[in-house]
Amino acid sequence: MKEIKFSISNITNKDTELVKNILNSGWLTHGKYTSLFEKEFSKFTGSKHAISLSSCTAGLHLSCLASGFKKGDEIIVPAQTHTATAHAVEYTGAKAIFVDVDFITGNLRLEEIKKKITSKTKGIIIVHMAGYPCDTKNILNFCKRKNITLLEDCAHALGTYESKKHVGNFGKSGSFSFYPTKQITTGEGGMLITNDTVFFNKIKKLKAFGIDKDIKDRNKPGDYDVKDLGFNYRMTDFQAALGFKQLLSYKKNLKRRHEIAKRYIKNFINSDKIIMMPYSKNCSYFVFQIFSKKRDDIIKTLKHLKIGFSVHYLNPLPKMSYYKKKYKLRLNDFKNANNYGLMNISLPMYPKLKNSEIDFICKSVVKAVK
């Protein structure tokens, strides 16, 4: 059996040809593909606004700033997530408050959130871990009652729904990632969606240095004012073209992800040493995650057979030196997040993955845990 990669992008030869044409055109940023990508993203997610960015982290950072988070505020984040979720809070001077997650969804639960609410709580950032929807509606209702801002980290969640609504539309904003392993990729890149026009306008300015006028609205170069201490969080036009093209075929991609998930589940269902989530039509299946006490034996086998895998994530954030030292955190307070880190493994999930490859991966994993 030849190598099975952990992830393969859906970039076609036509897409690379398009990138070449854009590079040759000399119009590398602020171009037409940026706005095409944003419009298509709004359409796909059903959001009022979409704004392209240099990363999902940029989206989270700008969302925290535009929500007014500042020193003295407390913002709740999951203990088990990518460090970007918590860093975005800390960039503003506010404090990231870690809350233990559910084992096995990896998502925040309202009962746990409630235990950490204080008079300083100004926001909650939920993550739809591995594409599995968080308990979004209930958390949003709680936020509304308490006057707390809800933000959504949708880095894994392109194609994730709750009650037929695309995630990212529940909170003030949803931030998506196009890092190479994601469902669609622009190399680095992100997109923020929001249904609040005032919030959108704030983000738009903060994304581009705090400049008050779009390039197309300027009478002459430099004809603008700077009203805020903004950033340069733009995406290039050739990245946007790649994202746009992959998004056009994403429905098909998502359908195949669901077929793959069902096949994994069918193959693993009789193994009592493998824990996994039941099939969900609302999950975007960023990866296919399983959990096992014998995770390290599985890793050894997969490495030997040249089958790609990943771990999302190995160490919960309270274990990371920066946060552990700063807030004197104890791992005992985050038991589920820790178990999640000890037991999870992400298996390949992409449309080009063949059924015979899925079956081979499953057979190898089952053998490894026996």
Ligand X SMILES: Cc1ncc(COP(=O)(O)O)c(C=O)c1O
Q: What φ, ψ does residue 169 adopt, rounded to 5°?
A: -100, 0
Alpha carbon separation from 39 to 43, 153, 207, 240 (Å, rounded): 6, 20, 18, 11
Pairing between β-strand 74-78 and β-strand 121-127 as defined by DSSP bridges? parallel
Site for ligand X in 234-273 (CB under 6 A): none
CB closer to ligand X out of 84 and 353: 84
Q: Which of 79-87, 263-271, 316-324, 356-364 is the region at the interface with ligand X (rule: CB under 6 A)? A: 79-87
Residue whose CB is less far from ligand X, 60 or 260: 60
Which lies closer to ligand X via its Cβ, residue 271 or residue 315?
Answer: 315
CA distance 259 to 265: 10
User: Applying CB under 6 A, which of residues 9, 34, 67, 177 lies at the interface with ligand X?
Assistant: 177
Query: By CB under 6 A, is residue 190 in contact with ligand X?
Result: yes
Candidates 49, 61, 82, 319: give the one binding ligand X (CB under 6 A): 82
Q: Contacts with ligand X: how many residues (CB under 6 A)?
A: 14
Out of 7, 34, 52, 85, point to the residue binding ligand X (CB under 6 A).
85
Nearer to ligand X, 152 or 162 (CB): 152
- 101 strand-pairing partners: 108
CB of 149 to ligand X, least distance (A): 18
Could you tell me which residues are beta bridge partners of residue 291? 275, 344
For 14, the token pair is: 């036509």
Contacts to ligand X from residues 297-356, by CB under 6 A: none
Which residue in the set 36, 50, 56, 241 belongs to the binding site for ligand X (CB under 6 A)?
A: 56
Biggest CA–CA distance in the chain, Å, is 71
Site string for ligand X, 130-149 (x = CB under 6 A): --------------------
* Residue of 173, 188, 113 lying closest to 145 (CA atoms): 113
370 CB neighbour count, 10 Å cutoff: 9
Among 10, 34, 47, 81, binds ligand X (CB under 6 A): 81
Cα separation of the two ends of the chain: 21
Q: Which is nearer to ligand X, 184 or 254 (CB)?
A: 184
Is the CB of 173 or the CB of 177 nearer to ligand X?
177
Cβ closest to ligand X, residue 85 vs residue 336: 85
149-153 and 173-177 beta bridge pairing: parallel
Q: Tokens for 252?
A: 């098909």
Residue 83 or 364: the one with the smaller Cβ distance to ligand X is 83
* Closest C-alpha among 330, 350, 280, 324 to residue 129: 280
Q: What pairs with residue 78 in β-bridges?
A: 99
Token digits of residue 341: 């880190």
x/- contact string, 101-130, with ligand X (CB under 6 A)? --------------------------x---
The only residue of 34, 52, 57, 121 in contact with ligand X, by rule CB under 6 A: 57
Q: Segment 23-42, which members bind ligand X (CB under 6 A)?
A: none
Are the C-beta atoms of 69 and 94 separated by less than 8 Å? yes
Q: Could you give the CA distance from residue 9 to residue 351 in angstroms, rounded to a whole number?
A: 9
Contact residues: ligand X, CB under 6 A: 55-57, 81-82, 84-85, 127, 153, 155-156, 177, 179, 190
